[in-house]
Chains A and B, each alone.
Chain A
Amino acid sequence: MDWLLALIQAVLFVLLAPLFSGWLKWVKCLLQNRRPPPLWQPYRDLRKLFGKRPVVADTASWLFPATPYVVFGAAALSAAIVPFFAVNLPTAAIADMIVLVGFFALSRFFLTLAGLDVGTAFGGMGSSRDMTIASLAEPAMLMAIFTLALTASTTNISVAIDYLLDSGFALRPSFLFALGGLLLVAVAETGRIPIDNPATHLELTMIHEAMILEYSGRHLALIEWAGQIRLMLYGVLIANIFLPWGLAREFTPEALGVGLAAIGVKLGVLAAVLALAETSVAKMRLFRVQEFLGFAYLLALLGMLSHIILEV
């Protein structure tokens, strides 16, 4: 029964990820005085792309067509180990935060190689930029996660969240710092403004989009979908670690319903905040990114220090 619920949670996560992107787009459109597309537009786009035959360059090796499956697989597995609307599910016991970061790294590893694989200038450029960002973002992310791990004395996300729910509401300075750090990392890792612009058509400014420029058809659909899952993963992580209230701890229909509604509201608000930020801020110069992520690392580090100094 628990396993079935875990499976349902993972599948729901994957299926709802495009809706989250659709909602984000919808809010952004409203903020920009535009008429928004329907909320389910990302599903239509995915269906369209799945219906198209992918075009693969002559110069591509096996890596290029394999990457979309690896990337999507990693994203789907990450979705399975993050508590979405219920904690203490059996999947959560299998893997911890380090594994989650490892999944992110795995899909990035394949994406950057695939960007280089075809040999176009844009792919290489995107891969090089993405690696620059990753090398700065991953330490900051780990540092933020370790702050949580130290507080809860575990690296298991589900157990940590359970601990936080047990200890009740407490304003921890370490968490505020870590939240700040993780928010900045999330913006960088999901390719949002001010680091990257997911909506741009300017090839020379692209980071993530430059890597996947050569993808088409169902390959592109898988990568896009994986990107949507990753965006929601960060949203769920931030929402459930820092505001865990509402998560289902018993597997009764009422508790699960409340859990689902709670995460829906949290994600909805988070997306609105992101949309507001993306509309009102310009994209940074590429060489300001290290300052941005350096600041993220500093915040995360401060979080850990304040935990050690104030909370132990």
Chain B
Amino acid sequence: MNAVPSSNLKAQDRLASCLLSLGTAGFAALKSAGSTLGPALLCVIPSENWAGAAELAAAGDCRWAAGWADEQGGAAIVHALLEKAGDYLLLRTQLPPGCNELASQTPYFPGAARPERHARDLFGLDFLGHPDSRRWVRHQAWDERSFPLRENFPLSGHPQPLTPPDRHYAFASARGDEVNEIPVGPVHAGIIEPGHFRFLAVGETVLNLEERLGYVHKGIEKLAVGRDPESLARLAGRISGDTTVGHAWAACQAMERASGIEPPPRALWLRAIFAERERVANHLNDIGMICNDTAFAFGYYQFSRLRELWLRDNLRWFGHRLLMDRVVPGGVAADLTAEAAAAMPAAIASLKRELDELKPILDSGPIFQDRVVAAGILPESTARALGCLGYVGRASGIDWDLREQSPYAPYDRLEVHAAVRGEGDVAARLYLRYAEVYASLNLIEACLGRIDDGPIRAGWHPPAESAESLGLVEGWRGEITAYVRFDGKGRIARFYPRDPSVFNWPALEKLILGNIVPDFPLCNKSVNGSYSGQDL
């Protein structure tokens, strides 16, 4: 690392020594020195060094993987999770009691913008130097001076009979006769989640797109407070319905790490099978929906049919179409029966056969190819700056898959090779999904071949007082992080799940630029961010 600001060199604190070595060795070299929090190295720094740390980390090519606030005994605590070369560093700072001001890390990590606005709306923290002072997840559901995640805010909230409309949000505007402003949503014509999009267009060309999300803010973080582990896993499974396995696994992994529980091997194999089945189902759905957005009816109905058959198998073998509530603290709630184990390889083989047949049809449709190729290009530099995850990042050349680069059980015993492409367009995100379906099918076969006999769930024992940990799981949309802190009674004091959509939604605002308005639905579907997962 060459450019180390002199002010930080002088500080000579733990942070400087931690971060100075980032450029060369990653965090692994520091593991002996620091305390760990789950898989991440914990680094507590003074609040005045918060921005400096971000500057160093950005200069050291770290990725800003998550950020959230917390409160203990009236003092606000802020976290930032950094990743480099598969190692995680959790930065933590505690603000003096009564102080709500902290330097923003957004100038160094653009992806931090929305998480910091989220923390500002819910905790009342003021991030100095943040480029955007507008509210984010806060609409008008609670008044300006109350902050729902503060300890003194009641769990029941202050319900109003009618939430006032969220007017006067200052969208970016442009002047000039040629510029056309197109408001879309939050209620859409299709059966999808709510979110508002504000386009500035010249003719059909998109000049600017601004997202306004937060319409499905359910208060997940507040609802988690006071729950027991079982009930937190249920809540996590409902953060985003299509990622129920991913989020439940991340939350359970965090809780298990906090209390030192090791799930039995069979449970881990089953979790991997569930996660891969979830990935396959969602990718099939997305491929079908991308076909539908180009009005390619044949593709839409074929992939929808395959997904439906896949989900029915889920129901038959594991008792739930989406595998909701199958991942529980300490293990899993559904076992693999001998009958299911015997039937699954045939179902996989048949799916592969159909996919083999369908791929040439997608490839050879000239109009379809014309729609997806070179539409909505996300350059790698933009994807890296925003910290894009999953297929969005990998389609733009970011070779990051937790299962491969930082494997957790049972992926540490499997060979995962994540597909990576460099084009960054709709076609790249489409074909990356196609490749991932095959890879997941192979992984399921590998899991089936190696699954151990034995119990599927370990007994639960409460963790130590204020035990905390991190869960890190590669969901179908990408890396999911979950932070869990317990109180003294074995119940949840703080839960922060970070869906990959947090970083993929901003990418949509960038990749649409220069495209035409009628291509937006297609670009949007190729990213397919979760509204619910980002709104929490």
A128 CB, min distance to chain B CBs, angstroms = 8
The 3 closest A-B pairs by CB, nearest first: A283-B295, A282-B296, A201-B190
Chain B residues with CB under 8 Å of A194's CB are 295, 367
Question: Given the interface contacts A32-B301, A202-B189, does A284 sit within 8 Å of B183 by beta carbon?
Answer: no
What 0/1 pattern do residues 278 to 300 of B give for CB contact below 8 A with A?
00000000000001011111110
Decide if B295 touches A282 in the complex (CB within 8 Å): yes
- CA distance in complex: A205, B292 (Å): 12
A residues 19-48 in Cβ contact with B at 8 Å: 28, 32-34
Q: A200 interface residue, CB < 8 Å from B?
A: yes
Question: Given the interface contacts A197-B295, A200-B295, does A285 sit within 8 Å of B519 by beta carbon?
Answer: yes
Decide if B181 touches A121 in the complex (CB within 8 Å): yes
- CA distance in complex: A121, B198 (Å): 11
Chain A residues with CB under 8 Å of B189's CB are 201-203
Decide if B291 touches A282 in the complex (CB within 8 Å): yes
Decide if A286 touches B296 in the complex (CB within 8 Å): no
Chain A residues with CB under 8 Å of B368's CB are 282
Chain B residues with CB under 8 Å of A203's CB are 184, 188-189
Chain B residues with CB under 8 Å of A10's CB are none
Highest count of chain A CB atoms <10 Å: which of B293, B298, B518: B518
Interface residue from A28, A204, A279 paired with B520 (Cβ < 8 Å):
A204
Extra contacts, 16 of them, besides A193-B297, A204-B184, A280-B298 (Cβ < 8 A), are A121-B180, A121-B181, A199-B295, A202-B189, A204-B521, A278-B297, A279-B297, A281-B296, A282-B368, A283-B294, A284-B370, A284-B371, A285-B370, A286-B204, A286-B516, A288-B367
Q: B312 interface residue, CB < 8 Å from A?
A: no
- A interface list, Cβ under 8 A from B: 28, 32-34, 121-122, 124-125, 193-194, 197, 199-205, 278-288
Question: Given the interface contacts A202-B190, A203-B188, A203-B189, does A288 sit within 8 Å of B204 by beta carbon?
Answer: no
Decide if B301 touches A33 in the complex (CB within 8 Å): yes
Decide if A28 touches B297 in the complex (CB within 8 Å): yes
- CA distance in complex: A265, B44 (Å): 80
- CA distance in complex: A204, B291 (Å): 16
Chain A residues with CB under 8 Å of B296's CB are 281-283
Chain B residues with CB under 8 Å of A288's CB are 367, 370
**Chain B residue, CB-CB nearest to A196:** B295
- CA distance in complex: A286, B519 (Å): 8
Q: B489 interface residue, CB < 8 Å from A?
A: no
Chain B residues with CB under 8 Å of A280's CB are 298
Chain A residues with CB under 8 Å of B519's CB are 285-286
What 0/1 pattern do residues 182 to 193 of B give for CB contact below 8 A with A?
111000111000
28 pairs, A vs B, C-beta closer than 8 Å: A121-B181, A121-B183, A121-B184, A125-B182, A194-B295, A194-B367, A201-B189, A201-B190, A202-B189, A204-B182, A204-B518, A204-B521, A205-B293, A278-B297, A279-B297, A279-B298, A282-B294, A282-B295, A282-B296, A282-B368, A283-B367, A283-B371, A285-B371, A285-B519, A286-B204, A286-B518, A287-B516, A288-B367
Chain A residues with CB under 8 Å of B521's CB are 202, 204-205
Q: B34 interface residue, CB < 8 Å from A?
A: no
Q: B134 interface residue, CB < 8 Å from A?
A: no
Q: B31 interface residue, CB < 8 Å from A?
A: no
- CA distance in complex: A278, B297 (Å): 8
B residues 160-211 in Cβ contact with A at 8 Å: 180-184, 188-190, 204
**Chain A residue, CB-CB nearest to B305:** A33
Number of A-B contacts (CB under 8 A): 80
Decide if A34 touches B517 in the complex (CB within 8 Å): no
- CA distance in complex: A202, B190 (Å): 7
Chain A residues with CB under 8 Å of B371's CB are 282-285
Q: B129 interface residue, CB < 8 Å from A?
A: no
- CA distance in complex: A29, B294 (Å): 18
- CA distance in complex: A147, B23 (Å): 75
- B interface list, Cβ under 8 A from A: 180-184, 188-190, 204, 291, 293-299, 301, 305, 365, 367-368, 370-371, 516-521
B505 CB, min distance to chain A CBs, angstroms = 17
A35 CB, min distance to chain B CBs, angstroms = 12
- CA distance in complex: A10, B518 (Å): 38
B32 CB, min distance to chain A CBs, angstroms = 55
B422 CB, min distance to chain A CBs, angstroms = 23
Decide if B181 touches A281 in the complex (CB within 8 Å): no
A6 CB, min distance to chain B CBs, angstroms = 39
- CA distance in complex: A280, B362 (Å): 10
- CA distance in complex: A206, B280 (Å): 31
**Chain A residue, CB-CB nearest to B182:** A121
Question: Given the interface contacts A285-B370, A285-B371, does A205 sit within 8 Å of B518 by beta carbon?
Answer: yes
B381 CB, min distance to chain A CBs, angstroms = 26
- CA distance in complex: A152, B295 (Å): 40
- CA distance in complex: A280, B521 (Å): 20
A286 CB, min distance to chain B CBs, angstroms = 5
B529 CB, min distance to chain A CBs, angstroms = 17
Decide if B182 touches A281 in the complex (CB within 8 Å): no
Chain A residues with CB under 8 Å of B299's CB are 282
Chain B residues with CB under 8 Å of A284's CB are 367, 370-371
**Chain B residue, CB-CB nearest to A280:** B298
Chain B residues with CB under 8 Å of A202's CB are 189-190, 293, 521
**Chain A residue, CB-CB nearest to B375:** A285
- CA distance in complex: A5, B188 (Å): 48
- CA distance in complex: A287, B203 (Å): 12
B210 CB, min distance to chain A CBs, angstroms = 14
Highest count of chain A CB atoms <10 Å: which of B291, B295, B370, B516: B295
A181 CB, min distance to chain B CBs, angstroms = 19
- CA distance in complex: A286, B42 (Å): 52
- CA distance in complex: A193, B291 (Å): 13
- CA distance in complex: A33, B367 (Å): 22
Decide if A125 touches B291 in the complex (CB within 8 Å): no
**Chain A residue, CB-CB nearest to B362:** A282
- CA distance in complex: A288, B375 (Å): 14
Chain B residues with CB under 8 Å of A28's CB are 297
A310 CB, min distance to chain B CBs, angstroms = 32
- CA distance in complex: A197, B296 (Å): 10
B303 CB, min distance to chain A CBs, angstroms = 12
Chain A residues with CB under 8 Å of B182's CB are 121-122, 125, 204
Chain A residues with CB under 8 Å of B517's CB are 125, 204
A245 CB, min distance to chain B CBs, angstroms = 33
**Chain B residue, CB-CB nearest to A32:** B301
Highest count of chain A CB atoms <10 Å: which of B181, B296, B297, B517: B297
- CA distance in complex: A124, B204 (Å): 12
- CA distance in complex: A203, B190 (Å): 9
B39 CB, min distance to chain A CBs, angstroms = 41
B465 CB, min distance to chain A CBs, angstroms = 52
Highest count of chain B CB atoms <10 Å: which of A201, A203, A282: A282
- CA distance in complex: A122, B183 (Å): 9
B518 CB, min distance to chain A CBs, angstroms = 4
B55 CB, min distance to chain A CBs, angstroms = 40
Question: Given the interface contacts A33-B305, A203-B188, A282-B365, does A287 sit within 8 Å of B204 by beta carbon?
Answer: yes
A254 CB, min distance to chain B CBs, angstroms = 41
B183 CB, min distance to chain A CBs, angstroms = 6
Chain A residues with CB under 8 Å of B295's CB are 193-194, 197, 199-200, 282-283
A281 CB, min distance to chain B CBs, angstroms = 6
B202 CB, min distance to chain A CBs, angstroms = 12
**Chain A residue, CB-CB nearest to B370:** A285
